[in-house]
Structure 1
Amino acid sequence: MKTLSLTVGLLLVLFTAVNSPDFCCFHFFDKRIPKANIVSIVKTHRQCSTPAFVIKTPRRLLCVKQTAEWAKEQFVNQKR
């Protein structure tokens, strides 16, 4: 019985870890980032509490809310 409980517990932890977001944003950069400084831009996982873009620059990662029009445009343009 203990083995069954342990197995079910481990499977539950593994399942939760596989389906959880890798990175969510809690602090947001409010200014526009020049296109020349953007190395890449990706959306956060859909399970994150606030939808955001994670923007990689040569120096750091920045979070920008998905409501920022300039960030939406950069994301769409990057896909082309």
Structure 2
Amino acid sequence: MTSHLTLSALVMLLVAVTLSEGLRGSGPKGCCYSFNNKPIPSQRVVSYVKTPQQCPIPAVRLKTVLGRHMCARSSASWVKILINDVDAKRTPGNTNHL
């Protein structure tokens, strides 16, 4: 009788752990679900990261000079221009003509 009770308790514990791990989610990290639709000047952006391909919506996470992070749709024309500008700033030997 005691062994049945112990076995039942162990099974219930395993079920509880399995359910709690399943609810935690195993989806990709760093996805964007809300987006900035207003263009941002390239001078205010220091870097960007594309979200993982597993994310439901392709996006770019932008980091501003103030350290803020915001999401933008990678398909937006202003985002494509912004990415080119940020990449140009990072290119060695690139000189900005004022």
* TM-score bucket of the superposed structures, by smaller chain: 0.5 to 0.7
Partner of 1:3: none
Q: Structure 1-normalised TM-score?
A: 0.68
Give, in whole Å, the separation in 1 of the partners of 2:67 and 2:48.
14
How many residue pairs were aligned?
A: 67
Give, in whole Å, the separation in 1 of the partners of 2:28 and 2:44.
26
Q: Which moved more, 1:37-46 or 1:67-76?
A: 67-76
Give, in whole Å, the separation in 2 of the partners of 1:46 and 1:73.
21
Partner of 2:48: 41
1:2-29, Cα deviation, whole Å (9 max, x unpaired) = xxxx8xx8xxx9xx96xx5220000001
Shift of residue 67, structure 1, vs aligned partner: 1.4
Q: Report sequence identity in percent.
A: 36
Structure 2, unmatched stretches of 5+, are 1-13, 92-98
Partner of 1:75: 83
Moved over 3 A (4+): none
Structure 1, unmatched stretches of 5+, are 1-5
Q: Structure 2-normalised TM-score?
A: 0.56
After superposition, the CA RMSD in angstroms is: 2.3
